[in-house]
Amino acid sequence: MKTDTPLAEIAEVLRTRQRFAIMSHVRPDGDALGCTIAMALCLRQLGKDVVAWNEEGVLEKFHYLPGHEIVTQPPAEPQEVEVAIVLDTSVQDRIGRCLPAVKHADVWINIDHHVTNPRFGDLVHIDPSAPATGQILYELFRGCDLPLTYEMADNLYVAISTDTGSFQYSGTTARTYEIAAELIRAGVNVADLSRKMYENYPRRRLELLRALLNTLRFTSADRCASIALTQAVAAQLGALPEDNEGLIDHIRAIQGVQVAAFFEELPEGKVRLSLRSKDERFNASALCAQFGGGGHPLAAGARINGALAEVQEKVLSAIDHAITGN
């Protein structure tokens, strides 16, 4: 297994190379996009030639991020770069169409915090103890005397806040709070950013939540709660994929529920599973690994071939076995 590349060695590559491509996973969250933008802004401060890609570009709900316009969808014509940087991505193929967009790169850098990351790339820094990849980037920028602008601070704060559940999840440490304080000193307006992150949802997202709650099921002696979204309902409501993020937390918060599952019907006979646990005895990542996925012990996911009803029963049966041993 590859050992972690020291951050100082990664910083040296950032300083000495000129042409960079930065990318992160499909269906990007705040950590993925915040890190992508922060890294791109840092490299531009260093005078580098930078492209930043995501298969879906920047989702509408993240347009408040300073510098969001730097992130585009990957080009149809593959490009050559000196360095390709993959951030917050547990497996390389999760960058989707960004992967074939890189015709050649002298060096691939992989920076992530998922324990299931197989350590792809030439320079690898994986820290599962970090609650967000944004925290690793902060240590890289500050610890190696790289630029850290106000715009970068905003993006890193969003990355850390969203991936820690607004500093609530178990991976949040004293160091996480110290970094948040340092980002605030760098210019982050917590109240303003928090409103944009957590109090600015479109109405269709609430309509989607109402529809999902009508599908709510309790299994495993009420210790598992699950919801499901069909393509037909999503189309009827005009829901965007980004509207789903965080809705699983409503059922995870139910008293007595140990595990929450969200099943989303996708095109081409696939189902997207999101799994959340609030009991460390249930490892969400291990269960998702049974279906080709992965993630964190308390938050993981997978994309599973099969019809929605079929996938639901297989996954719920596996959850029941993990909970009850039967």
Q: Which CATH number does the domain housing residue 151 bear?
A: 3.90.1640.10
Work out the average pLDDT over 290-314.
94
Q: Which residues pair with 299 in a beta bridge?
A: 276
Does one domain contain both 189 and 212?
A: no
**pLDDT at residue number 280:** 87
Does one domain contain both 157 and 264?
A: no
**pLDDT at residue number 55:** 95
Q: Rounded distance, CA 270 to CA 253, Å?
A: 27
Q: Which of 149, 183, 198 is the last residue of a domain?
A: 198
- Both tokens assigned to 95: 């960058």
Does one domain contain both 171 and 256?
A: no
**pLDDT at residue number 169:** 87
Using an 8 Å Cβ cutoff, are 160 and 169 in contact?
no
**pLDDT at residue number 320:** 96
- Name the amino acid, one letter, at 87: L
Does one domain contain both 210 and 191?
A: no
- Local structure of 202: helix, strand or coil: coil
**pLDDT at residue number 112:** 98
* 2 part of a folded domain: no
* Residue % of the chain over a pLDDT of 70: 99
- Tell me: the pLDDT tens digits for 230-260? 999 999 999 998 899 899 999 999 999 999 9
Question: How many CB atoms neighbour CB 28 within 10 A?
Answer: 26
Range of the structural domain that residue 254 is part of: 203-324
Q: Which of 138, 166, 198 is the last residue of a domain?
A: 198
Q: Which CATH number does the domain housing residue 280 bear?
A: 3.10.310.30
Does one domain contain both 145 and 209?
A: no
Q: Rounded distance, CA 244 to CA 258, Å?
A: 20
Does one domain contain both 88 and 193?
A: yes
Confidence of residue 326 (pLDDT cuts 50, 70, 90): low
Does one domain contain both 191 and 207?
A: no
For residue 173, pLDDT beyond 80: yes
Q: Which residues pair with 7 in a beta bridge?
A: none
Question: How many CB atoms neighbour CB 118 within 10 A?
Answer: 15
Sign of the Cα torsion 156, 158, 162, 167 reads positive
- Both tokens assigned to 195: 């409103």
Does one domain contain both 225 and 247?
A: yes
- Both tokens assigned to 306: 């099969």
For residue 138, pLDDT beyond 80: yes
Q: Rounded distance, CA 11 to CA 137, Å?
A: 11
- Tell me: the pLDDT tens digits for 80-116? 999 999 999 999 999 999 999 999 999 999 999 998 8
First to last CA, the chain: 35
For residue 273, pLDDT beyond 70: yes
Using an 8 Å Cβ cutoff, are 298 and 170 in contact?
yes
* 153 part of a folded domain: yes
- Tell me: the pLDDT tens digits for 51-82? 999 999 998 899 999 999 999 999 999 999 99
Does one domain contain both 76 and 134?
A: yes
* Residue % of the chain over a pLDDT of 90: 91
Work out the average pLDDT over 287-296.
92
Does one domain contain both 192 and 44?
A: yes
Does one domain contain both 113 and 192?
A: yes
For residue 49, pLDDT beyond 70: yes
Confidence of residue 34 (pLDDT cuts 50, 70, 90): very high
Sequence-ordered strand ranges (E) for 25-156 = 49-53, 71-72, 79-87, 102-112, 123-126
What's the total number of domains in the chain? 2
**pLDDT at residue number 170:** 83
Residue 69: DSSP 8-state: G
Does one domain contain both 308 and 258?
A: yes
**Which of 251, 252, 268, 263 minimizes the C-alpha distance to 314?**
263
Q: Rounded distance, CA 76 to CA 87, Å?
A: 21
* 1 part of a folded domain: no
Place of tokens 């598992």: 224
268 Cβ neighbours under 8 A, 6+ residues apart: none
Q: Which of 198, 226, 243 is the last residue of a domain?
A: 198
